[in-house]
Structure 1
Amino acid sequence: MSFKLYKLTLNGRWTNCLSSQFNNALTGHILSNKALTVTGHIPHQLSQLSSLRYLDLFNNALTGNIPPQISQLSRMQTLKLSHNQLQGTIPASFSYCRSLYYLALSFNQLHGNIPSQLSRLTRLKYLYLGANNLIGSIPHSLGNLSASVELNLGDNHLTGTIPHSLKNLSALVGLYLGETHLPGSVPHFLGNLSSLVVLELGGSYLMGTNPHELGKLTHLQFLYLYTNNLSGTIPSSLGNISRLTELELCENHLQGPIPPEFGMLTHLQILYLYTNNLSSTIPASLGNLLKLRELDLSENHLQGLIAPELGTLTQLQLLHLFSNNLWVTIPSSIENLSKLTHLILHENDLTGTIPSELGTLTQLEVLYLWKNNLSGTIPSSLGNLSKLIDLELCDNHLQGSIPLNWTCLLASRFFIFSKNNFSGIIPSSLGNLSKVTELYLFENYLQGPIPHELGMLADLKYLHLFTINLSGTIPSSLGNLSKLINLELEENELSGKIPDSLVSLEQLKNLYLEQNKLTGEIPVSLEGCLSEVGGPSVVTKPAKWKNTRNLWQPPATEIYLSSAQQINRGNPCEFRGMSDVEEALPILQ
């Protein structure tokens, strides 16, 4: 008789359930839980189910140790205990389950060494021990598991090197040793594991060079060697792995050119080479990778043109080329990348104008062009990018006025145009960008008043309008910005009084107003705000504040009327210079 269990609660009441009648009912082969979450400990009485062949308790809330009595289930073929909260060590007695071919214990809190006795499970094909707290070295004896198809020991605290004995696992399809501590070299014998489809060695402190023998793995589809200490050049033989779908060599110390042979990897969908020391130009042959979805070559020393052949990659969604030495113009062929969501080109030496063709990339969510040498005006076509979340154009030589037609950018959260040569007024239409959290226009040549419509930006946290020659008064509508953290209006020509409405800005931590033409006293309402956070209970100032040297620094709110204390939130477009007030004050004399 066969019995399939759908509701299983391990809460200490199992002894009453495991009657001889219940045990006989389970002589069929399956004990699994597909409907409800199982809690509690695994009862050692399970060992009484002598005919059990399949035990699946994957993805539950089991706690405690794995009872060694399970090893008495000599007919067990499949044991799935992954994604629980099991602790303790892996029972060496598992070696008595000689029929076992599938053992999954990953994503628990198991500790201790990997038992060398597991090598006795000669029928074992699938061994998953990843994402635990296992220590020690990988047992050489695991090389005896000649039937193994998948071996996952990654995301543990394993040390030592990759044992040479693994060369015997000729049937291996997946080898996962990433996120461990194996500071040896990438073994050359891996190139002889001809059945490999997945080789995951990322984040394992590996060093040395990439062996050219990896190019013999013609069935390989996924190669992960990211975040190691690998050096030398990228072997051109990797271009022979014609079935490769994902290649990640990022965050190493690789140098030299990107092999043009990569253009033969026509099945490639993801290519990550970022954060290395790669040089030379972007190979035009990458334009042959018509299935490519993500290309990240950022943080290298690449130079020359952005290969216009990249415009043939019509499936591309992510293009990261930032922090290189790329120059000349942004190729207009980028307009063909209709699925592009992320275009990140900042920190290069790009020149010329922003192509108006970028306005046709209607799926674009992030556009970073900051810290280049771009000039000209902002194309009005960028206003068509209705899905754009983050637009950062700062630290260039852009000029002209800020376009008025931004009504389509309703998804935008970051609007960063600082450190350019923009002129004209701040468009009142910016008040329609209801989701904006950061608005940076500082260090431009703008003029005129602060639009009161900016008070409609309910999600705004950072408003930086300093050093742009603004005039008029501070709009009282800014008091509506209830989420505002930083308000920087210093070094302008603002006049009049500080509006009482600013007292309602309960999240405000930094208020910069120095070097303006403000007059009057600090509002009593602002005085109350200061006293709540530890500031003085009575605050008075001269009629004109310019060139005074008073500075208050309450724990939660800082108001700077004439100092030069600076802040730097890590955004390169927000660099402000010195951060020490005492060092900065002499500059104001």
Structure 2
Amino acid sequence: MAPLLLFPFMLSIFSISALHHSLNNNSHQQEQQYLLLQFRDTSFNNPTSLADWTPVHPLCNWTGVTCDRSSHSVVALSLWSMNLHGTISPVIGNLSSLRSVDLSNNSLAGTIPPALSSCLGLLHLDLSFNQLHGSIPSELSLLTNLKMLSFEGNNLIGTIPPELGMATQLQYLYLGENKLYGTIPSSLGNLSALAELVLRKNNLAGDIPPELGMVSHLRYLSLGSNRLSSTIPSSLGNLSALVTLVLRLNNLTGDIPPELGMLPDLQKLYLWGNKLSGSIPNSLGNLSALVELDLGINNLTGAIPSTLSGCRGLYDLRLSFNQLHGSIPHELSLLTSLKILYLGLNNLTGPIPHSFRNLSALVELELAKNDLSGMIPPELCMFPHLRSFNLRRNKLSGTIPSSLGNLSAMTELDLAENNLQGSIPPELSRLVDLQALYLSKNMLSGTIPNSVGNLSVLRNLSLSENRLQGSIPLELGMLTNLEFLYLDKNRLSGTIP
């Protein structure tokens, strides 16, 4: 009989407990509502995109708000690309259950509040592409659970806090496109979980810390467009997971470390726009996964290594603006995936290899300003996708192949400043997409073909300093898009239409 008497009592206890839990939940949600409204009102100017942030609507249904199902705490704010203006109020630090904050792609100004360091459970913090200024708070190093931190695309100044090396769970760190100065802290080498590090487009100076070679999981390293000097540390050859390495547009000196040829997964290597010297390491030919290699605008010497033919997937190879010499290795014709080949502004000699006929995927071929000799190989006129063909300022001789008229995708053809003879092939008029034709400073003779009037989208035409004669074709007057026309220093008669 006793158990039956206890039942109403137990039911009453459960009811009181449920009521207490419900009251606690309501109180907690009201507190969260108050904090969010305070954050909105002290942060944003007229945020029309947050019109549903009112007590009339359930908190967890507010735009950009995510709640934990059990605790009903706000765990995420996703307010990216909402045309928000104003500042980021320190009130956000009172939302202690936050795990993710994304305010990216807005117009927020002001500074980054150190109060964010109170959100100790924060995993994801993205304030990128706003108008934030001031320095990066060193207090953020207290966010030891943080996996992703992005302040990219702001106006931040000051140095990178060395304390960030304490956030050892970080996997993604994006600080690019700011105005940061000073050196790259060697403490970033402690971020053993880091997969992507982006510091591009700042004013960072000094050395690349060799300690970065200890970040064994690093896949993407972008330090381009800074003022980094000294040499490239050979320790970067230890980054066996690296897929992309961007060091372009700095003041780096010394040799390219042969150890970079030990990166089995490397797909993109950009070292252009530095002061690198020495020869191109043969070991780069071991990079079987490489698809883009840009070593242009340096002081590299020596020959182009034939070992580069080992990079069979390469589709973009740029070695222009160096001091490379010797002949173009015929082994490059094994790179049948090549779409872009830039070898211009070097000291290359010898003929253009006939084996280049295998490079049928080429879209851009630039061999300008070398000392190449011999004739233009007819095999180069068989590329269906070639849009830009530049052989300017070499020592090429012979005639212009009429088969160039088969390059139906051509938009720019530059054969100026060579020793070419003979007439201008009328077949060039078949290049109906041609926008620029440069044939000046050769020894061309004969007349200007009337069919040049078929090049209806032509903007630039330079035929000056040749031995052309006869009348200037009236058909030139049909080229309504023509912006620049150079016919001087020939033996032409008549006037320009």
Assess same fold via TM > 0.5: yes
Structure 1 residues 46, 100: CA separation in 2 closer, same or farther (over 3 Å shift)? farther
How far apart are the structure 1 equivalents of 2:81 and 2:307? Answer: 45
Letter in 2 for 1:199: L
Code of the residue aligned with 2:322 in structure 1: it is N
Q: Which residue of 2 aligns with 1:162?
A: 160
Cross-structure match for 1:288: 286
**TM-score scaled to structure 1, two decimals?**
0.74
Give the SS at the match of 2:158.
coil
Alignment of 1:357-506 (within 5 A): 357-495=355-493, 497-498=494-495, 502=497
Once the two structures are superposed, the pairs formed by residues 209-248 of structure 1 within 5 Å of their partners are 209-248=207-246
Q: Deviations over 1:196-217 (max 9, x none)?
A: 0001111121111011111100
For residues 371 and 55 of structure 2, the distance between their equivalents in structure 1, rounded to whole angstroms, comes to 72
Distance 1:260 1:93 in 2: 52
CA contact under 8 A between 1:54 and 1:79: conserved in structure 2?
A: no
Q: Deviations over 1:551-589 (max 9, x none)?
A: xxxxxxxxxxxxxxxxxxxxxxxxxxxxxxxxxxxxxxx
Q: What code does the residue aligned with 1:122 have?
A: L
In the TM superposition, what are the counterparts of 1:59-458 in structure 2 within 5 Å?
Answer: 75-458=73-456
What whole-Å deviation, never above 9, does each CA across 1:154-207 have from its counterpart, x for those lacking one? 111111111122122010000111111221111010001100000111112111
Partner secondary structure for residue 269 of structure 2: strand
Query: What is residue 11 of structure 1 aligned with on the other side?
Result: none
1:485: how far off? 0.8
Conserved 8 A contact 1:74-1:98? no
Once the two structures are superposed, residues 215-244 of structure 1 have per-residue CA deviations (whole angstroms, 9 ceiling, x without a partner) of: 100000000110111111111000000000
Moved runs in structure 1, 4+ residues, more than 3 A?
Answer: 44-51, 53-58
Determine the C-alpha separation between the residues in 2 that align with 1:76 and 1:470.
78
Once the two structures are TM-superposed, the CA of residue 47 in structure 1 deviates from its matched residue by 5.5
| Cα deviation code 1:425-482 (max 9, x no counterpart) | 0000000011111101001000000011111001101111111010111111112111
Contact 1:369 1:394 in 2 (8 A): yes
Q: Give the paired residue count.
A: 449
Structure 1 distance, partners of 2:112, 2:219, is 28
| Residues 52 and 62 in structure 2, CA contact (< 8 A), matched pair in contact too | no
Please list the CA deviations of residues 248-289 of structure 1 after superposition, one character each: whole Å capped at 9, or x if unmatched.
Answer: 011111111000001110100000000111111000000010
Paired amino acid for 2:415: F
**Could you tell me whether the CA contact under 8 Å between 2:162 and 2:188 is conserved in 1?**
no
Aligned-pair CA distance for 1:84: 3.0
Q: What TM-score comes out, normalization by structure 2 length?
A: 0.88
Structure 1 pair 160/377, CA: closer, same or farther in 2 (3 Å)? same
CA distance in 1, matches of 2:431, 2:243: 39
**What percent identity do the matched residue pairs reach?**
41
Q: Distance in 2 between matches of 1:54 and 1:212?
A: 47
**Structure with a larger share of its residues in helix:** 2
Shift of 1:93: 1.3
Q: How many Å separate the matches in 2 of 1:74 and 1:482?
A: 68
1:349 and 1:401 mapped to 2: Cα distance? 23
Three-state SS of the structure 1 residue aligned to 2:389 is: strand
| 3-state secondary structure, aligned to 2:164 | helix
How far the C-alpha of 1:386 sits from its partner, in A, is: 1.1
Superposed CA offset, 1:93-145 (max 9, x none): 11222221111111111000011111111111000001110000111111111
Alpha-carbon distance between aligned partners in 2 of 1:393 and 1:50, rounded to the nearest angstrom:
68
Q: Select 1:41's aligned residue among 38, 42, 49.
A: 49
Aligned equivalents of 1:46 and 1:74: distance in 2?
17
Offset of residue 498 of structure 1: 2.7
CA distance in 2, matches of 1:154, 1:382: 44
Q: Which amino acid aligns with 1:278?
A: L
Q: What RMSD, in angstroms, separates the aligned Cα atoms of the two structures?
A: 1.9
Which letter does structure 1 place at the counterpart of 2:85?
Answer: Q
Alpha-carbon shift at residue 78 of structure 1 (Å): 1.8
1:77 positional shift: 1.4
With over 3 angstroms needed to count, the CA separation of the structure-2 counterparts of 1:86 and 1:355, relative to structure 1, is same
Query: In structure 1, what is the Cα distance between the partners aligned to 2:106 and 2:471?
Result: 61
Between 1 and 2, higher relative CO (CA 8 Å, sep ≥ 6) is seen in 2
* Whole-angstrom CA distance in 1 between matches of 2:174 and 2:54: 31
Q: Measure the CA separation in 1 of the matches of 2:100 and 2:474.
A: 68
Letter paired with 2:202: S
Q: Secondary structure at the match of 1:78?
A: strand
Moved more, 484-493 or 46-55: 46-55
**Judging changes above 3 Å, is the alpha-carbon distance between structure 1 residues 474 and 315 closer, same or farther for their aligned structure 2 residues?**
same
The 1-side partners of 2:93 and 2:101 are apart by: 11
Q: Give, in whole Å, the separation in 2 of the partners of 1:370 and 1:54.
A: 60
Amino acid at match of 2:327: T
Give the CA deviation at 1:54: 7.9
Q: Which amino acid aligns with 2:226?
A: N
Is the 1:198–1:222 contact (alpha carbons within 8 Å) kept by the matching residues of 2? yes
Task: Please tell me the residue identity of whatever aligns with 2:237.
Answer: G
Whole-angstrom CA distance in 2 between matches of 1:57 and 1:388: 51
Secondary structure of 1:156's partner?
Answer: coil
Helix, strand or coil at the partner of 1:439: strand
- Tell me, yes or no, if the aligned pair for 2:53 and 2:63 is still in contact at 8 Å: no
Which amino acid is 1:202 matched to? R
CA drift at 1:385: 1.0
The aligned counterpart of 1:559 is none
Contact 1:90 1:110 (8 Å CA) reproduced = yes
